[in-house]
Amino acid sequence: MKMKLSEVARVVGSDCPLAEADCPTITGVAFDSRQLHPGDLFVPLQGERDGHEFLAAAAEHGAAATFIAAAKAPIATAIPQLVVDDPLQALQKLAQYYLMMKVNPKVVAITGSNGKTTTKDMAAAVLATQYHVVKTPENFNNEIGVPFTILSMDTNTEVLVVEMGMDRPGQLTALSHLAEPDVVVITMIGEAHIEFFKTRDKIADAKMEIVSGLKEDGLFVYNGDEPLLRQRATAVTQDQKTFGLDPENNLYARHIQAFEDHTEFDLSRWPDLHFSIPVMGEYNVTNALAAILVGRRFHVKPEAIQHALADFQITANRTQWLTGDAGEAILSDVYNANPTAMKAVLHDFAEFPCSGRRIAVLGDMLELGAASAELHASVATALDPTRIPEVYLYGDEISSLADTLAAKYPAAAVHYFPKGQQQALINALQADVSYQDMVVLKASHGLHLENVLQALLDGDSD
């Protein structure tokens, strides 16, 4: 971005403390003083600590100006300050202005219980074959991350691919109205956040909020294999396209072949084109179908889509293959987890050729609420001792899976470590793994299995 401070002040309804000639040019925004660049506008947000405590640090790092919450003013600072009712609301208002008045790109908004980040990466790669594209960095997908992504755009951006997450009702409504997308995508409905929403029906209702800001001439792309979405789509007046594995969808995949480092498939629409994606799993094929429909909405040619999907760059920690210190193959998927995704990963993992043992390292799936024990135990259906003979479990919630596996696994093959005993898990795993083995790691990020991964990669132990 590039805006005079006086213009920022007008947009957010604040008085500019400087004369027009003295106003600095704002070239970015930052809400973390440690990541601030000279010329940035500092936005003090309320987190574990009050962002206003870091005004001095922001000034030291070269902030050009800062928002100040009216309830906190006056605060002595060495940089110009714009007093606003709420810094977060001011950030969102500034982002919407910049999006619509300064850049005006086409907007693709993507949500879903699983797969939204991968679908974002795929869609951005497809569109980048023909347009100047900006996408959500990492997982900046909430009420802070979405405006930050918008304000990070260059003015020559033609398409913005923005990921939108949610953990409460109303969140996607606000994000959708902020961005007013031209295309919205829902990848799937799973059990993520069921602790707060109680049922998958209510999760589907919350996900459907993304359609609320969709332009009248926009397109709604969704997983047609999900009855909950098909039911709710009948109330949507905009154009719709469905994807999935069912032949009733507008776009469906055939002849899926999963390999360790890629997946191949054919399409109903273009039978002469063979597709390959550099990620594993049937569930990633459906993500690719969503990206293909987005690409076709923007008139990207089938051959260009095929080539883009073949080597798109995936966000880190999502089904990465790595090699451990002992020479073992490691499938790392430690960023997040829900029962649907965990079963899908285990299903594919069990099919990969392996000269040693397949070992599953699984941790708690968070935010499952009252259904947590039942949903963790349900993962047992994806674990077959003849295919995955060794299982390591970490956390408190996953103890129900350990109990369930006792009926189908030898006692010595299931290793359970309560939360707080991660080092013991690491020590046991390092002593067990050999160069011929294959290991999968999956859990919610709050379990920090990335520490286990790093230990396997480095070979370090306590």
Q: Which residue has the higher pLDDT, 456 or 333?
A: 456
Under a CB-based contact definition with an 8 Å cutoff, are residues 392 and 415 in contact? Answer: yes
Amino acid 194: pLDDT: 62
CA atoms of 186 and 440, how far apart (whole Å): 27
What the block records as the tokens of 370 is 């009252």
45-49, 133-137, 185-189, 458-462: which has the minimum mean pLDDT?
A: 458-462
* pLDDT over threshold 70, residue 193: no
* pLDDT over threshold 70, residue 182: yes
Pick the last residue of a domain from 283, 310, 337. Answer: 310
Percent of the chain surpassing pLDDT 70: 97
Mean pLDDT of 227-231: 96
Amino acid 269: pLDDT: 87
Q: Which residue range forms the structural domain that includes residue 74?
A: 3-85
Q: What angle do CA 288, 289, 295 make, to 5 degrees?
A: 90
pTM assigned to the model: 0.86
90-94, 156-160, 184-188, 190-194: which has the minimum mean pLDDT?
A: 190-194
CA atoms of 1 and 96, how far apart (whole Å): 12
* pLDDT tens by residue, 274-331: 999 998 888 899 999 999 999 999 999 999 999 999 999 887 656 778 999 999 999 9
Residue 93 in domain: no
User: Please, which residues have CB within 8 angstroms of residue 102's CB and are 6 or more apart in sequence?
Assistant: 1, 3, 155
Q: What is the 3-state secondary structure (H, E, C) of 286-333?
A: HHHHHHHHHHHHCCCCHHHHHHHHHCCCCCCCCCEEEECCCCCEEEEE
User: Please, which residues have CB within 8 angstroms of residue 71's CB and are 6 or more apart in sequence?
Assistant: none
288 and 333, same domain (yes or no): no
Amino acid 200: pLDDT: 86
* pLDDT over threshold 70, residue 368: yes
3-state secondary structure of 111: strand
Amino acid 192: pLDDT: 65
186 and 114, same domain (yes or no): yes
64-73, 149-158, 288-297, 346-355: which has the minimum mean pLDDT?
A: 346-355
Under a CB-based contact definition with an 8 Å cutoff, are residues 29 and 2 in contact? Answer: no
Amino acid 103: pLDDT: 98
Tally of domains within the chain? 3
Residue 360 in domain: yes
What the block records as the tokens of 190 is 């799973």
Burial (0-12, 13-18, 19+ Cβ within 10 Å), 350: middle
Q: How many CB atoms lie within 10 A of CB 359?
A: 25
Dihedral sign for Cα atoms in the order 267, 259, 344, 184: negative
Under a CB-based contact definition with an 8 Å cutoff, are residues 310 and 276 in contact? Answer: yes
Amino acid 317: pLDDT: 52
Q: What is the DSSP letter of 98?
A: I
304 and 431, same domain (yes or no): no
Q: How many CB atoms lie within 10 A of CB 235?
A: 8
Angle between helices 339-349 and 282-297 (to 10 degrees): 110
121 and 256, same domain (yes or no): yes
User: Please, which residues have CB within 8 angstroms of residue 218's CB and are 6 or more apart in sequence?
Assistant: 181, 182, 183, 184, 238, 239
CA atoms of 30 and 41, how far apart (whole Å): 6
Amino acid 461: pLDDT: 57
Binding residues for ATP: 112-118
324 and 447, same domain (yes or no): yes
Q: How many CB atoms lie within 10 A of CB 262?
A: 15
* pLDDT over threshold 60, residue 89: yes
Residue 35 in domain: yes
Binding residues: 112-118
* pLDDT tens by residue, 373-385: 999 999 999 999 9
Q: Which residue has the higher pLDDT, 123 or 268?
A: 123
282 and 345, same domain (yes or no): no
Pick the last residue of a domain from 268, 289, 310. Answer: 310
Give the neighbor-by-neighbor strand order of the sheet with 28-30. 28-30, 40-42, 65-69, 81-84
CA atoms of 382 and 303, how far apart (whole Å): 36
147 band by pLDDT with thresholds 50, 70 and 90: very high
What the block records as the tokens of 409 is 């696994």
Residue 315 in domain: no
* pLDDT tens by residue, 403-449: 999 999 999 999 999 999 999 999 999 999 999 999 999 999 899 99
280 and 215, same domain (yes or no): yes
Which residue reads 């299995």 in tokens? 449
Residue 97 in domain: no
342 and 448, same domain (yes or no): yes
Average model confidence (pLDDT) across the chain: 94
Residue 170 region by backbone torsions, left for phi larger than 0, else alpha for psi between -120 and 50, else beta: left
Amino acid 281: pLDDT: 84
76 and 185, same domain (yes or no): no
155 and 229, same domain (yes or no): yes
Residue 91 in domain: no
Pick the last residue of a domain from 249, 280, 310. Answer: 310
326 and 450, same domain (yes or no): yes
Amino acid 462: pLDDT: 54
Percent of the chain surpassing pLDDT 90: 84
CA atoms of 227 and 231, how far apart (whole Å): 6
460 band by pLDDT with thresholds 50, 70 and 90: low
Residue 98 in domain: no
CATH of the domain at 433: 3.90.190.20
